[in-house]
Amino acid sequence: MFELMLCSMLTILPDYLFRRYGQGKRIGREITLYTVWYELRWGITACLLLTVSLITMIFYFHPSTKSVTAIFRTVTILPEATGRVEEVFVGLNQKVVAGAPLFRLDASEQEAALETARRRIAEVEAEMKVTQTELAGVDGQIKEAQGAYQTAVDEYEMKAELLTSNAVARREVERLATQIDSRKGALEATIAKKQTMETQISLLLPAQKASAEAALAQAQVEFDKTIVRAGVTGTVQQFTLRRGDVVSAMLRPAGILVPEGAGQGTLIAGFGQIEAQVMKKGMIAEATCVGKPFTIIPMVVTEVQQVIAAGQLRATEQLIDVQQMAQPGTLTVFLQPLFAGGLDGVPPGSSCIANAYTNNHDALADPNIGTLRGFSLHMIDAVGLVHAMILRMQAVLLPVQTLVLSGH
């Protein structure tokens, strides 16, 4: 409507003034309902062409969209294991801090595993003490075996000297030599037994203790998983969990946690694909939201998604028909407040209307710019004012449309 009124002042009005004062034709006589097209045909035709051109220029270089939302992230409250709820610590719509316990699952199985791991550590420690005691006994056995071996050697040497004088039978000397080998083997076996015990004390038992401690740590981790805690600071929503309920990481979540400040820093807008060449990072934008009426929020484009979500393809067992993707997608653009606290008071998830404005200031500052190009860029920047006026009218009429004209 604004475009039509503006263009009519530049086309139809001059044409009418020429007919009225240049040719003396008056409304109601020469210019009637039946002759208005013939008399003002040049102005009407030029008005239509100029209006269409102006609207096209405004909506292309200063795009607008109603697909704007203060999208916020949610965190699903899920246990890491399936279990039955034993105790609930928070209620619905309660604010929690990161790390605060939300609910506890039945931990009888985990407690049994934890106690088993503790018993195993105690068992290994007791075995280490027993082995150390046995090691002290083995030292005595070694001394005893050394004494027996030395006695056998001494007796053999003595009777070996008497063998030359035939005072001792040769068979007795051979028996003593065999006894020396036996006593020596017993000594070596005792020494090997001591080395085995030392290896058990220094390597095997510490390794078994470390394994038992690792099992204890694992059991402690599994036990800690029975207490589900808040991962971030936020508000608990849709949390109707009660004692006795069964929750599962795959089938039955416990509720939703809305992080603090979620949806209060960024607006996500979907602009038409035709504006992909116009939307640039750093463009100035404005927005008005249903959750905060009568307010224009200065914004800035911080990111333009490089792909159109509607064209995404995921591998399946069937070939994709392009006709199934006939619905055109939008260009996803991220908007952030130009000034701190710009989105304060806008509820997360609120629907908004946004305009983005093309700025050719840098191009116009170029001293080598041509006259025609400079005039075109000036005109493009100037018509953005029309779109800004439209947005402000929408901000004023939005509550009326929502509360009155919508019929709610």
**3/90 same-domain check:** no
Identify whether 386 is part of a domain: yes
CATH number for position 79? 2.40.50.100
The reported pLDDT for the residue numbered 163 is 58
In a domain, 316, yes or no: no
Q: Give pLDDT, residue 159.
A: 62
124 in any annotated domain: yes
Residue 114 sits in the same domain as residue 99: no
Split at pLDDT 50, 70, 90, the class of 303 is: very high
Query: Which H or E run includes 23?
Result: none
Number of domains observed in the structure of the chain:
4
Residues 271 and 388 both lie in one domain: yes
Distance separating alpha carbons of residues 190 and 343, to the nearest angstrom: 83
User: Residue 202's domain spans which residues?
Assistant: 108-213
Band (pLDDT 50/70/90 cuts) for residue 167 is: low
- Nearest Cα to 82, choosing from 235, 234, 245? 245
In this prediction, residue 2 has a pLDDT band, given cuts at 50, 70 and 90, of low
Answer yes or no: do 98 and 230 share one domain: yes
pTM of the model as a whole: 0.69
- Domain identity same for 94 and 136: no
Within this chain, do residues 52 and 67 fall inside the same structural domain, yes or no? Answer: no
Q: What is the mean pLDDT of residues 81-92?
A: 86
Based on the fold, state whether residues 174 and 237 are members of the same structural domain: no
**What's the mean per-residue pLDDT of the chain?**
82
Asked whether residue 28 is assigned to any structural domain, the reply reads yes
In terms of domains, do 252 and 269 share one? no
Please state, in angstroms and as integers, the Cα–Cα distance from residue 408 to each residue in 187, 194, 394, 403, 404, following that order.
102, 92, 19, 6, 7
Q: What is the pLDDT of residue 158?
A: 66
Q: Tell whether the model's pLDDT for residue 195 goes beyond 90.
A: no
Comparing 11 with 168, the larger pLDDT belongs to 11
Same-domain status, 124 and 269: no
User: Is 130 part of any domain?
Assistant: yes
Closest CA to 102 of 248, 227, 256: 227
DSSP string spanning 286-319? EEEETTEEEEEEEEEEEEE-SS-GGG-----SSP
Please indicate, yes or no, if residue 321 is contained in any of the structural domains. no
One domain for residues 57 and 46: yes
Together in a domain, 293 and 348? yes
Per-residue pLDDT tens over the stretch 228-255: 888 888 889 888 888 888 888 777 788 8
